[in-house]
Amino acid sequence: MVKSLPTRLAVPVGETWDLSNLFNSSKDFDQALESLEQEAEALNHKTQGTITDVPTTIQTLTDYMAFLEKLVIVSTYASLTISTDQTNNEAQLQSSKFSAVAAKISSKLSFINSELLALPRETLEQAMQESAEFKGFLEKLLRKKPYQLHPEVEKTLAAYSSTFSAPYGLYNTTKMVDMNFEDFEVNGQAYPLSYVSFEGDWEAEPDTELRRAAFDAFSKKLKDYQHTTAKTYDMQLQTEKTTADLRGYDSIFDYLLSNQEVDRSLYNRQIDLITKELAPHMQKYAKLLQKVNGLDRMTFADLKISLDPSYEPEITVEESKNYIDGALSIMGPDYIEMVNRSYSERWIDFAQNKGKSTGAFCSSPYGVHPYILISWTGRMNEVFVLAHELGHAGHFYNANREQNIFNARPSLYFIEAPSTMNEMLVANHLLKNSEDLKFKRWVISSIVARTYYHNFVTHLLEAAYQRKVYERIDGGQSVNAGILNTIKRGVLEEFWGDSVDITDGAELTWMRQPHYYMGLYPYTYSAGLTISTQVSKRILNEGQTAVDEWLEVLKAGGTKTPVELAQMAGVDITTEQPLRDTIAYIGELVDELVRLTEEIEAG
């Protein structure tokens, strides 16, 4: 039974992460932030107006790199502290303070890019030859040259950076602080409801009456805040559109894709092909869910239920370690040492508490180990979620050791490949170690429902919705709650057809996702999973050779484009083939679920 969430202070320390490797206290954080502000001033005073040749270019980038390494620690501490309790006054003020100081720092140091781009291309190319560690940074900078504005304009825009990022903070405050869910009632009994409990428990609740009542109560509360949330989102969209226009991009899409190092054809292909070709497979899966669970009709509120509610293994945090170690051991002793340290050294925040950010994420500050946030429900599918976040951790654990801070982070397009790879490795490990039909069906249904539904369907439908929203904004229009509801409902109805009843409240799903404040992020999940599906097949078939090549990809960080990184792993994403192969594979999994269900029911 779902319980009311405790406050952060009531949570056992062992279930929380240990931030002492960043700072021991808020006082230490304040001192470091003050020191950074002074260092930025000193760097500005020492360097502005002096970047004129190759030696001064290299010296400036050396100093800037050392500064960024300190800045990222302070930034991470501020964001991680508030992510575990958005209701904490001290954390709120600390986060706001960091944003304000970071904007000042950004403005003070904006001259670096401006002065570098004012140099002749030959000077920058010579600097790349003389200092290979800055080659990636300077190449990316040169790509932005056509869109660079006057130095004083860049300085002013940088000063407003905290204002431009305010919609995301406002969204989180509305969602995690202002939105308080009342208990809902079923047959005279009251049940507690919160964002975390709905997404972690109620969505997958086997009791249909309870599940649908929770969905209705959750949707009712969302609806109360739809206009504020829509206005917040429109602020974000208009800021992005204004920036794209100011910088001279042809469209808002070109602006948002510029840092991803992929062209618009890869973006559109991912959405168009999956929307059209995956839909029949997922509609078949929805009908199977309905049949096995004996539902009168399949509604949107039923899509997250288990194929076999009686076979949903429960698991403790400690037990999860055995599964994850077994599944990821193929990645080698160094990787497993990282996994073990993440448990023993408290890199992971498992607790469920009021005010904690929903979902799960991994933060990987340069120079320090990764941190993972998850709200542990005890359901077996949490093993997949944790393996996913450990995939991000393993990626940056390797990349941060091998590359400098400029070169460690790859394009957003590739970011979800290492995470979804780990989900595939967990599934392969579980399938290999049991012949029990029910367990086998549970594992395959977990791959479909957790790995593919979440990354290939949920995020893909977000991307399809997001593209329609940006098309409006690009045409000079704005959005409100009514428009966003209509667009979201249309996307859901097109994908699910007559297999799922898109009930009232489903259209409000756009309110639940923070990814919309992170540019064109949602579509990258399916892009990453396309790559990892193909590589996981290689690992199954080729073993160590494929593993070694994948580890080299992780170590490469951001030194190569997504196309080049995929090529290193033996996948050609310049063609439709990997995506078509992955969609076909999902179809095979669904067919296998149908076959196993028939065999189980016949037995």
Q: SS3 for 299?
A: strand
Instruction: Identify which of 558, 56, 570 has the alpha carbon closest to the alpha carbon of residue 260.
Output: 558
- In angstroms, rounded to a whole number, what is the distance separating the alpha carbons of residues 98 and 106? 12
pLDDT digits (tens, 9 = 90+) for 486-541: 999 999 999 999 999 999 999 999 999 899 999 999 999 899 999 999 999 999 89
Residue whose structure tokens are 């078939």:
541
Examine the domain organization and report whether 588 and 456 are in the same domain.
Answer: yes
Residue 563 maps to which CATH number? 1.10.1370.20
User: Does residue 81 lie in a domain region?
Assistant: yes
pLDDT at 1 over 60: no
> How remote is the C-alpha of 601 from its chain's centroid?
38
Q: What percent of the chain is predicted at pLDDT more than 70?
A: 100
Structure confidence by residue, pLDDT tens digits, 218-259: 999 999 999 999 999 999 999 999 999 999 999 999 999 999
Kindly state the average pLDDT of the residues 324-350.
97
- Given this model, what pLDDT does residue 455 score? 82
Residue 541: per-residue pLDDT: 92
Residue 149 in this model has a pLDDT that exceeds 60:
yes
pTM listed for this prediction: 0.88
- Same domain, residue pair 283 and 144: no
Alpha-carbon distance 320 to 387, whole Å? 9
Residue pLDDT, tens place only, 303-314: 999 888 777 778
Query: What does the pLDDT average to over 436-445?
Result: 89
- In this prediction, residue 308 carries a pLDDT of 84
Calculate the average pLDDT of the chain. Answer: 94
pLDDT for the residue 309: 77
In-domain check, residue 496: yes
Decide: helix, strand or coil at residue 372. strand
Q: Which of 151, 180, 201 is the last residue of a domain?
A: 151
Q: Is the pLDDT of residue 2 over 70?
A: no
Say if 215 falls within a structural domain. Answer: no
The domain boundary residue, chosen from 151, 170, 190:
151
For residue 479, tell me if it sits in a domain.
yes
3-state secondary structure of 574: coil
Q: Would the pLDDT of 111 be above 80? A: yes
d(CA 101, CA 83): 19
The tens digit of pLDDT for each residue in 43-95 reads 999 999 999 999 999 999 999 999 999 999 999 999 999 999 989 999 999 99
* Domain coverage including residue 16: 8-151
Whether 41 shows a pLDDT value over 90: the answer reads yes
Residue 446 · residue 307 · CB < 8 Å: no
- What is the pLDDT averaged over residues 163-186? 92
Which pLDDT value is given to residue 474?
Answer: 97
Tokens of 491: 């996307």
Q: At what angle do helices 523-542 and 459-474 cross, to 10 degrees?
A: 140
Q: Which residue has the higher pLDDT, 200 or 284?
A: 284
Q: What pLDDT, on a 0 to 100 scale, did the predictor assign at position 156?
A: 95
Q: Which of 99, 130, 151 is the last residue of a domain?
A: 151
Residues 569 and 423 occupy one common structural domain: yes
Q: Does residue 238 form part of some domain?
A: no
Q: Are 266 and 573 in contact (CB under 8 A)?
A: yes
Q: Percent of the chain beyond pLDDT 90? A: 87
Q: pLDDT digit string (tens) for 378-436?
A: 888 889 999 999 999 999 999 999 999 999 999 999 999 999 999 999 988 988 877 88
Domain count within the chain: 2
pLDDT at 280: 96
- State the DSSP H helix or E strand holding residue 377, giving kind and residue range, or none if neither: none
pLDDT at 450: 80
CATH number of the domain enclosing 94: 1.20.140.70
On whether both 384 and 529 belong to a single domain, the answer is: yes
Given a cut of 80, whether residue 260 has pLDDT beyond it is yes
SS3 533: helix
CA distance 225 to 223: 5
